[in-house]
Amino acid sequence: MRDPFVFDSRSEFCKKPYGAVPCGSDVVFHVRPLTRDGYSRCVLVARREFSGEEIQMELLPEAVDGERTRFTGVLTAPSEPELLWYHFRLIRSDGSTALLDQSGWQETGEIQSWQLTVYEKTATPLWFGGGVVYQIFPDRFCRLSLPDPTGLVGNRWVHENWNDQPVWAPDPDGEVRNRDFFGGSLNGITAKLDDLAALGVTVLYLNPIFESASNHRYNTADYLHIDPMLGTEEDFRRLCREAKERGIRMILDGVFNHTGSQSRYFNADGFYPGVGAAQSTDSPYFNWFSFHPWPTDYDAWWGIMTLPAVQENEPDYRDFIIRGQDSVVRHWLRAGASGWRLDVADELPDDFIAEIRTAMEETAPDSFLLGEVWEDATTKVAYSQRRRYLLGHELHGVMNYPFRTALIAYLRGGNADDFRETLEALRENYPPEAFLSMMNFLGTHDTPRILTVLGADNVPDSKADRAAYRLSPTQRQIGLERLRLAALILFTFPGAPTVYYGDEAAMEGWEDPFNRAGYPWEQEDTDLKAHFAELARFRRSFPALQAGVLHWIWTSGPLLIFARELDGQLLTTVVNAADVSQALSLPWPAPPARDLLTGQCFTPVDNAIPLTLPPRSGLLLQTDLP
């Protein structure tokens, strides 16, 4: 049975410092079994993930705390990045033993070890985690004129009506080819920079912008050329310049695990004048791909033959993407980008990611490297290997899918304590810099629209039904109320709040392509958009919301309350996700507070603030500590 009074890895009474530690740090452990249980010795047993070495360290009996004996020891963390998996063996004077792990006292069965992340402390740019990110699917954001796709790679066509629904039904061959375009462009984004600045955006993350046969552009055809329907390299440079004048940086999507079958490198249909790997074994790109046998059978991402997988360990490919003086990574940083997001980071070797990081630091020292990782990035196993994403020389931060999943579950009737547990597990495992650099979001191009998820009663079974689906007025109202709460949590939680284009305008839609419609210019929900802008302003105005320490205040049932504290500044987020009012007495050993959302003031009585929270409502309490 678990007894947190014996050992709790998240309590500084038991382990200090909290969470992950830099290489070579001293970590103090206290284990406090009941004295009556007769333990005379306590041994910390730890296994090093990467070296396989086992460490055993004796904790010495230091004192008796009431009815408990306290064993204490200091472990010096390894001098190189590592994951330590540890538990305790307690021994009585008669030689009998007991094991203590995360599940409690363990008699038999598999040991459930605690995790200690040991990382190399390196510089992390602060502008990402401290900012506000806005994700744009370039074809669907803003069109200034109707483009002509004639002569471009892929059999493309353009919707004349910006408000059309994206094509979702298979063609006569049973394929969904994503060849319908709407004509959003880089110059369209540039034209809306003032709107984005007014929304509080400081970082733009663009889905792929390089030449490609498909509207999503994840099947890259040419890494060194902007897709002509989006514009030119000079258009990109201008976008970056004018964005930086408004305090906005640019992050590009790097799709380096696979190319498109119609790319100039593979050239399956012979569109490009050069010789691609699918055309000749003498192609300069032949070794980039793995054929078995050539030319019709080859490795492809998830078996999708239009996405031939690249061999990242091929020296020529590494030179092209990373090492060369005008490599893809370096070229676009010099053109004005401030960072890269690595698509399907799980498919990229650790040393490939590390080389990208090195090239970025050499080219643009303040650039940021983000990875697409869907789980805890410190415990991720891909291709039977534990990944080293956040241990010091690879990613600065990752996309925080666990945040979205846990937040939706909570807002749709779950327990706030489950949300706390999910995020606290990440906080314990991630280096502090990485935790503050998480990309937190409510939705992306790979997920259904957040308003639909929060408002719908269930998911329609067929794709045709999902295509036709719209929230009822009642569902939409409930969804909007929940979305306002989701945004409140998003903008006040550690990490970079990220808005998928149109979520702030109340766009609806299930999965791809229904989540990728054109932005509803002049049809936005202006109240919701103003709410997002106000939250972004608070985040910019209060450093505690950018880098403050996280305190969990109350997490039970529908009530979620947490605070951020920095340099005497305290911001407390209070959320009631229930469909009914909730009354509580909020512990408040601090000066009077003001709700930033309404201006209402609260004076504590006997170190508590009595609150009655209406259904689906929230507060953002601000006070300065003495």
**Segments of the chain with pLDDT less than 50:** 1
Give the separation between CA 25 and CA 114, rounded to whole angstroms. Answer: 18
Q: Residue 106's pLDDT is what? A: 84
pTM of the model: 0.97
What is the SS3 assignment for 134? strand
Does domain 548-624 fall under CATH 2.60.40.1180? My reply is: yes
- Structure-token pair, residue 214: 């498909």
Cα distances (Å, whole numbers) of residue 606 to 457, 559, 568, 587, 589: 43, 22, 21, 9, 8
The single residue listed with the structure tokens 């030119």 is 232
- Structure-token pair, residue 74: 């200091």
Give the separation between CA 235 and CA 211, rounded to whole angstroms. Answer: 14
15-119 and 135-256+312-541: identical CATH topology: no
Q: Strand 26-31 and strand 15-16: pairing?
A: antiparallel
Q: Residue 172's pLDDT is what? A: 86
What mean pLDDT, rounded, does the chain reach? 97
Burial (CB < 10 A; 0-12, 13-18, 19+), residue 43, is: middle
- Alpha carbon 175 to chain centroid, angstroms: 31
Amino acid code (one letter) for 483: L
Q: Residue 4's pLDDT is what? A: 77
Give the separation between CA 514 and CA 275, rounded to whole angstroms. Answer: 37
Cα distances (Å, whole numbers) of residue 173 to 176, 452, 513, 604: 9, 31, 19, 68
Count of all residues that appear for the chain in the document: 626
CA torsion sign for 55, 61, 63, 65 is positive
Amino acid code (one letter) for 498: T
Q: Residue 322's pLDDT is what? A: 98
The single residue listed with the structure tokens 């794709």 is 463
Give the separation between CA 46 and CA 86, rounded to whole angstroms. Answer: 4
Q: Strand 439-441 and strand 397-400: pairing?
A: parallel
Class of domain 135-256+312-541: alpha beta
Paired with 46 in beta bridges are: 55, 86
Q: Strand 21-22 and strand 114-119: pairing?
A: parallel
Contact criterion met (CB below 8 Å) for 494 and 456: no
Contact criterion met (CB below 8 Å) for 364 and 276: no
Burial (CB < 10 A; 0-12, 13-18, 19+), residue 384, is: exposed
Q: Domain locations in the chain?
A: 15-119, 135-256+312-541, 258-310, 548-624
H/E element, 104: strand 104-106
Contact criterion met (CB below 8 Å) for 535 and 545: no
Q: Residue 2's pLDDT is what? A: 57
In a 13 Å sphere around the CA of 233, the CA atoms on its Cβ side amount to: 10
Task: Give the number of other CB atoms < 10 A from CB of residue 97.
Answer: 12
Contact criterion met (CB below 8 Å) for 14 and 72: no
Give the separation between CA 503 and CA 505, rounded to whole angstroms. Answer: 5
Burial (CB < 10 A; 0-12, 13-18, 19+), residue 416, is: buried
Q: What is the CATH number of domain 15-119?
A: 2.60.40.10
User: Residue 25: what are its φ and ψ, rounded to 5°?
Assistant: -75, 155
CA trace torsion 556, 560, 565, 568 (10° rounding):
-90
- Structure-token pair, residue 552: 């969990």
Give the separation between CA 108 and CA 454, rounded to whole angstroms. Answer: 43
